[in-house]
Amino acid sequence: MYNFEFEKPGSVADAVAALGAEDAQALGGGQTLIPTLKQRLNQPSKLVSLSGIADMKGVSASGGMITIGGATTHATVAAEASAYPALAATAAHIGDPAVRNRGTIGGSLANNDPAACYPAALLGSGGSVKTDNRDIDADEYFQGMFSTALEEGEIITGVTFNIPEKANYQKFVQPASRFALVGVFVAKHADGVRVAITGASEDGVFRWSEAETALSSNFSAAALDGISVSADGMITDLHGTGAYRAHLLGILTKRAVAAAA
């Protein structure tokens, strides 16, 4: 790892100021960033830890929405997001227990790994990402693999999810990394169904609109019979081909619909 300065501010304003330094980067729980730095794939001049900002931690629910502070760990979401059980269950299966005690929701969403779980949960639920200076709609936020609407130095201070009538996340675990080989988040809202897929597309998380249309008129696994996704643009790697992932996401979507609660 190349060396860097370390700073741990106690407020969002101080963190924004610290991130103004050239090549400074925010540090969430570090469960992706630190391994990346070890591989010398990145060389920040300064890491600005967000873990000392009390305002960015915690879970609160009201008015059909749940808001999670950007520096809240996966373990805390798993334990405290009882107002949205499918979200708590999603958080409870990220990585392993020690990773969940450090990794944060803001860090995961800022990184937007194409196989991460939270992007599917947020895009599937609908909602918004709150930063130090604006709110970004979930549908505008994800812009491709490892790419988001965040500007340089912008910090995710909180994330708001719309709580659906029913939801479920099905994750086919890649057992070495604990990431999703494919993950499917299905949410049945009063005004329609949202289906978000992670782990499959070369463009990162995406909504499967054909399935959404079918499920919005008939919320049952049978409504998906005959609907499939093309393997074009699906990730092919040593764990599975694009065709395999395209098939798997159909199966997992059916399972998610059947299990939605």
Chain residues in the site for another protein (CB under 8 A):
1-6, 8, 27, 30-31, 34-35, 37-38, 46-47, 49, 51, 75, 95-99, 101-102, 176-178
Pick from 108, 240, 253: nearest CA to 168 = 253
Q: How far is the CB of 184 from another protein (least distance, A)?
A: 21
Q: How far is the CB of 32 from another protein (least distance, A)?
A: 9
How many CA atoms lie less than 13 Å away from 44 in the CB half-sphere? 23
Residue 3 or 62: which CB sits closer to another protein? 3
Residue 38 or 134: which CB sits closer to another protein? 38
Contact 174, 237 (CB under 8 A): no
Q: How far is the CB of 159 from another protein (least distance, A)?
A: 22
Residue 21 or 231: which CB sits closer to another protein? 21
Residue 73 or 112: which CB sits closer to another protein? 73
Q: How far is the CB of 175 from another protein (least distance, A)?
A: 9
Q: How far is the CB of 95 from another protein (least distance, A)?
A: 7
Cross-strand bridge partners of residue 46: 5, 24
Residue 2 or 146: which CB sits closer to another protein? 2
Q: How far is the CB of 234 from another protein (least distance, A)?
A: 26
Residue 63 or 175: which CB sits closer to another protein? 175
222 Cα distance to chain centroid: 28
Chain position carrying tokens 């330094």: 21
Strand order in the sheet with 5-7: 5-7, 46-49, 24-27
Pick from 96, 103, 140: nearest CA to 118 = 103
Q: How far is the CB of 24 from another protein (least distance, A)?
A: 11
Q: Which of left, alpha, beta for 64 (phi over 0: left; psi -120 to 50: alpha)?
A: left
Residue 27 or 150: which CB sits closer to another protein? 27
Contact 182, 198 (CB under 8 A): yes
State the sign of the Cα–Cα–Cα–Cα dihedral 213, 252, 149, 202: negative
Identity of residue 120: A
Helix ranges (DSSP H) in the chain = 12-18, 33-38, 74-80, 85-91, 97-100, 105-111, 118-125, 138-141, 209-217, 242-259
